Amino acid sequence: MGRVSSVLQTLTVATGPAVADVLPALQRALAGDGPALLPVPAGDDREIARLSDALRPGEPIDDEVALVVATSGTTGVPKGAQLSAAALRASGTATHDRIGGPGSWLLTLPAHHIAGLQVLARAVLAGTDPVIVDIGVGFDPAALPGAVARMSGPRRYSSMVPTQLIKALDHPEATAALADLDAVLLGGAATPAPVLARARAAGITVVRTYGMSETCGGCVYDGVALSGVRVRVDADSRVLLGGPVLASGYRGLPDHPAFAEPGWFRTDDAGFVEGEVLRILGRLDEAISTGGLTVVPQVVEAALVTHPDVAEVAVFAVPDDRLGQRVVAAVVPVGVTAPSLESLREHVIRTLDPTAAPRELHLLDALPLRGPGKVDRRDLTARFTR
């Protein structure tokens, strides 16, 4: 690490066309010529205060840090991944190498999170102007056809989260627009298999990505690590990531255990490597202990989402006097047909142990989210704990 010689500055990131205002600062950050920047969302005074309290703009920071990107904060306290210009460039270059070369990028994500920032960074590295979809009042798939039509060639890309893709697939013109792109990077959360199959059947070139703020965003594409990225799984099935895309640690937390092993980041995800392909099972800190057995929510969700009456699903735990924790499912139904708890249990038991079958069902119009596309299980647990 270099010497401490500069202070962290906030970078206010708007929505809509005004997002482009951050491009000059981002270009300097990628070149290593500007101050270290903390992206914050314009107009959200509460979030700005939360990030400022935790990550302390205006105070000294190592001069090799280009961006401090806040994690989505599963614990409620944001951490700031310190990303160097070299790490950001390595990530962008490796992405372009994997998907067919530099091109034009379509922004549909909040640009103060790592996924949205990387869309802008890749455009800067490619020397192209990003096309921006205004998501200030939410994602509207009807905006996609016009936005894709404004993109320049010869290569055109976008990055989305599964909830956006699901909405786009219900809009024929949006689906056709996405099918015109050379690749749609899909990350932020696991993609249900039926959604993936439907997208590919519609001609959309979906590339599933795995990564986090601490690795400059996605660093494993369709299970295979990008150039230079290292993957290993420890004896407890925990996934560790390394390589040139790695953050230099967390802002103000030099002894954090996630970076305790030099050159590696300890994720909170369980997985295994099959050949050269990384398979993610789910988050270790979200595992449910019920009746003395462990249930991984994402595994149960993968089974439930294949039920014909389930559009979206989240599995979580609530306290149970007898079992310790009870497996609960929150479901967004397909149309007006609502699945019964009994049918969901039967569906799960066909492929998984009966312990994994939900014992409680809640029907919702939409799943609560935190960050770009991640289901907020803490919110669900709090909402339905009696």
CB 194 within 8 A of CB 306: yes
pLDDT tens column, 227-243: 999 999 999 899 999 99
Q: What is the pLDDT of residues 343-378, one digit of tens each?
A: 999 999 998 989 999 999 999 999 998 877 788 888
Q: pTM of this prediction?
A: 0.84
Q: Which residues of the chain have pLDDT under 50?
A: 1-4, 74
Domains in the chain and their CATH numbers?
4-280 (3.40.50.12780), 287-384 (3.30.300.30)
Using an 8 Å Cβ cutoff, are 269 and 283 in contact?
yes
Alpha helix (H) residue ranges in 105-169: 114-126, 144-149, 162-169
* 259 contacts: CB under 8 Å, gap ≥ 6: 247, 249, 250, 265, 266
Show Cβ contacts of residue 324 under 8 Å, excluding neighbours closer than 6 positions. 289, 290, 291, 292
**H or E stretch including 88?**
helix 85-99
How far out from the chain centre does Cα 309 lie?
Answer: 26
